[in-house]
Structure 1
Amino acid sequence: MTKPTKKAAPKTKATPELKATPEKKAVATPASASAPPAEKGKLAKTELTDQIAQRTDLTRKQASEAFDATVEVMLDALKSGKSVGLPGLGTLSVKATAARIGVRPGTSEKIQIPAGKKIAFKVAAGLKDSL
C-alpha cells in the first residue's frame, strides 16, 4: 500500500508547480509590455493603444477608438486608390500587378496568374537612414 501513496504524492506536487507557472507568465507579460524597446518582435494593437494613451491625455478606450478610426480612414483611402503618407514612417500605396505565367510548386505545371493589386510601402528617408 505504500506504493500507491508514493504515486499519489508526486501528482499533488506537480499540480502546484503547474499552477505556479501561469502566474509567473501572467506577471512577466505586463512587465514586458511596459518595456517594448528591450523586447524584439511584434507590437500588438493593445500595446500600441496603451502607449498612445500614455503619451496623450486620452483614456485607453479613447486611444483605441482613435487608432481604429485612423486605420479605417487609411483603408478607405487605399481602397479608393489613393496613397497614404505617414510622416516620418513612409507611404502606403496601391500598385497594379500584371497578369503572368507562374509554375505550381511540386508539379511544375504552368498556371496563369491573373492581374491584381497589391499594397506597396516606401520607407521614409529619415527612418531608412536611422535604421
Structure 2
Amino acid sequence: MLLTMTKKSAKAPAKKPAAKAAPAPKAAPKAESSKVAKTQLVEMVADKTGLTKKQSEEAVSAMLDVIVGAIKGGQSVGLPGLGTLSVKATAARTGVRPGTSEKIQIPAGKKVAFKVASTLKGNL
C-alpha cells in the first residue's frame, strides 16, 4: 500500500507544543491548622505545665469527661476566659424534606449552646 502526500497535507502548519499546565502545587504540610486536635492540645498543656505527655493527656481527658458529663446532666459549664457551654431545649417544628419538598414534623429536642466570654470576644 502506497501512501502519497498531497501538497496541502505536506504544508500543514506544525502544531505548537501544548502549553504544559503548571504542576499542581504540592500540599505542603500544614504548619498551622485552623483546628487544634486533642494531641496538639495535650502537647501544649505538657509544654506549659511541665507535665509529661502521658500526665497531660490524662488531665485533658479527665477535664473533657467532666465537661461532657455535666452537659449530659443538663448543667452549664463555665470556662473562665473562654465562655459557657449550656443545654438549650429546641421546640418542635415543621421542616421540609430536601428533594421531595414533603413537609415533615421535627420533634422537640436539646442542643448544646456556647456563649463566648466577653473578655475573649473583645480580644478577637
**Of the candidates 54, 65, 69, which is equivalent to residue 61 of structure 1?**
54
Runs of 5+ unmatched residues, structure 2: 1-25
Q: Which residue of 78, 94, 99 corresponds with 2:71?
A: 78
| Identity level (%) | 63
Which structure: larger Rg?
Answer: 2
Question: 5+ residue gaps in structure 1?
Answer: 1-20, 33-38
How far is 1:105 from its partner?
Answer: 1.0
Report how many aligned residue pairs link the two structures: 98
Find the aligned partners of 2:33 and 2:68 in 1 and give their Cα distance. 27
Q: SS of the residue aligned with 1:93? A: strand
Which of 84, 87, 106 is equivalent to 1:91? 84
- 2:41 is aligned to 48
Q: Does 1:115 pair with 2:81? A: no
Give the AA of the match of 1:41: S
* Superposition deviation, residue 89 in structure 1: 0.3
Structure 1 outlier segments of 4+, above 4 Å: none
Structural RMSD (CA): 1.6
> 1: CA distance between counterparts of 2:109 and 2:73?
15
Structure with more of its chain in helix, by fraction: 1
Give the Cα separation in 2 of the matches to 1:120 and 1:75: 13
1:96 is paired with a residue whose SS is strand
Q: Distance in 2 between matches of 1:72 and 1:126?
A: 26
Task: Provide the TM-score with structure 1 as the length reference.
Answer: 0.71
- Cα deviation digits, residues 34-82 of structure 1 (max 9, x gap): xxxxx24111111110010000021000000000000000011101110
**d(CA) in 2 for partners of 1:129, 1:40:** 23
